[in-house]
C-alpha cells in the first residue's frame, strides 16, 4: 500500500500568463489528504476552483477550468508537475486568472516542488486501474487508454515542418522519468499563427523565451532544443497534466496520435462514463459513481478524487 502526499511547505513562483500576458504569482501550498488539486483565486477573496473534469470549460491551446464564472487557465503544466512528482494534494493560490508560463516547460514547477519538499500523509493513495480499452477518434487524431500495471504513455505527433516532422516519445511515468525526461520539454508554436491567435485573445504573453517558436522552416528561439524530440515530449507533459484532473493515481497505457487538450478531455469523459472500464483500489464501480453521501462529502471537502468520479462525463 502507498500513501497520499502533499507539499511539506508553501513555495511561490512569479511570471506572466502565456495567453493573457499579465503578471501572476502562483503559490503551491500543502493540503490535507483527499483534497486533490484546488486552485484558489486570491484576487477574488480566495474563490476555489477544484481541478476536476467537470470544471473544464475551454480546451483551445490550453486547458481552462471554470466554476460559477470564475476561471483559471493554462493549468496543464503545473498539474503535470504535481502529478509527475507524486504529489496527490495541493492548494494552488493564484493572483490572476492564468497560471504563469515560466519557460514553457514544467521544469521550474518541479524545482519548486523539490524546494518545498514532499510530506507523506496517513491516508492510502487512491489508484484508478484501467480494466478495458477505451478510445476516441477525431479524423486522423486518436487517443486510447488500455490496461497496464503501470502508467505508460506513447505519443506520436506529425507536423509538416522540417524541424518537427513525425516524432514518437514513449515512457513509463515515474517521478524520476518525469523530472529527467518530460518536465524540461517546452511548449511550442508557429509564428504564422501568432497574429490570428492574438486577435482571439491568445498568446499575448508568448515570447522566444517561454516557447519554442518556429517560422516556415526554422526555429526562431535562441536556445537549442533540450531533446531532439522535445516537441513529442511536451505533448506527453500535456497529457499528464490533463489526466491529473482525474485526481487519482493512474494505472494504464495511453496511446496518443496527434492528440490535443480537446481529445484528452473527451477520453477522460468517456472513461468515467464506462463503469466497467476501471476500478479504484481494486473495487468494482457498480454504476461508475460513488454513493451520494460520498460524493457530497467529497465536494464539501474539495476532494479532487471523489469530485472527479462523481462528476458527469
Known binding-site residues for Zn(2+) equal 77, 234, 238
Q: Among residues 103, 109, 107, which one has the least CA distance to residue 79? A: 109
Which three cell numbers mark 156? 506520436
Tell me the C-alpha distance between 109 and 154, whole Å: 23
Tell me the C-alpha distance between 19 and 157, whole Å: 23
Q: Among residues 187, 251, 247, which one has the least CA distance to residue 221? A: 187
Question: Out of 19, 55, 108, 261, which one is annotated catalytic?
Answer: 261
For this structure, is 200 an active site residue?
Answer: no
Q: Among residues 247, 269, 273, 7, which one has the least CA distance to residue 125? A: 247
Pairing label, strands 188-190, 212-214? parallel
By annotation, the residues acting in catalysis are: 261
Amino acid at each position: 500500500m502507498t500513501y497520499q502526499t502533499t507539499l511539506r511547505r508553501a513555495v511561490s513562483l512569479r511570471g506572466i500568463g502565456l495567453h493573457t500576458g499579465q503578471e501572476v504569482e502562483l503559490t503551491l501550498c500543502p493540503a490535507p489528504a483527499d483534497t486533490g488539486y484546488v486552485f484558489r483565486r486570491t484576487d477574488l477573496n480566495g474563490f476555489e476552483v477544484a481541478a476536476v473534469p467537470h470544471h473544464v470549460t475551454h480546451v483551445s491551446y490550453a486547458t481552462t477550468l471554470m466554476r460559477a464564472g470564475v476561471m483559471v487557465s493554462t493549468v496543464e503544466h503545473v498539474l503535470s508537475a504535481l502529478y509527475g512528482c507524486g504529489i496527490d494534494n495541493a492548494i494552488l493560490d493564484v493572483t490572476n486568472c492564468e497560471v504563469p508560463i515560466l519557460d514553457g516547460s514544467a521544469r521550474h514547477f518541479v524545482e519548486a516542488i523539490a524546494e518545498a519538499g514532499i510530506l507523506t500523509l496517513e491516508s492510502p493513495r487512491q489508484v484508478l486501474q484501467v480494466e478495458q480499452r477505451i478510445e476516441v477518434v477525431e479524423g486522423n487524431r486518436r487517443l486510447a487508454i488500455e490496461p497496464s500495471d503501470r502508467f505508460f504513455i506513447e505519443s506520436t505527433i506529425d507536423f509538416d515542418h522540417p524541424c518537427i516532422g513525425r516524432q514518437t516519445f514513449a515512457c513509463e511515468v515515474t517521478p524520476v522519468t518525469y523530472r529527467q525526461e518530460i518536465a524540461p520539454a517546452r511548449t511550442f508554436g508557429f509564428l504564422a499563427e501568432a497574429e490570428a491567435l492574438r486577435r482571439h485573445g491568445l498568446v499575448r504573453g508568448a515570447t522566444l523565451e517561454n516557447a519554442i517558436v518556429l517560422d516556415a522552416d526554422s526555429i526562431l528561439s535562441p536556445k537549442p532544443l533540450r531533446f531532439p524530440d522535445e516537441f513529442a515530449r511536451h505533448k506527453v507533459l500535456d497529457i499528464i497534466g490533463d489526466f491529473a484532473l482525474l485526481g487519482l493515481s493512474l494505472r494504464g497505457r495511453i496511446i496518443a496520435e496527434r492528440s490535443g487538450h480537446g481529445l484528452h478531455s473527451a477520453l477522460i469523459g468517456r472513461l468515467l462514463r464506462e463503469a466497467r472500464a476501471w476500478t479504484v483500489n481494486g473495487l468494482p464501480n457498480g454504476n461508475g459513481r460513488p454513493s451520494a453521501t460520498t460524493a457530497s462529502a467529497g465536494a464539501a471537502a474539495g476532494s479532487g478524487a471523489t469530485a472527479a468520479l462523481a462528476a458527469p462525463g
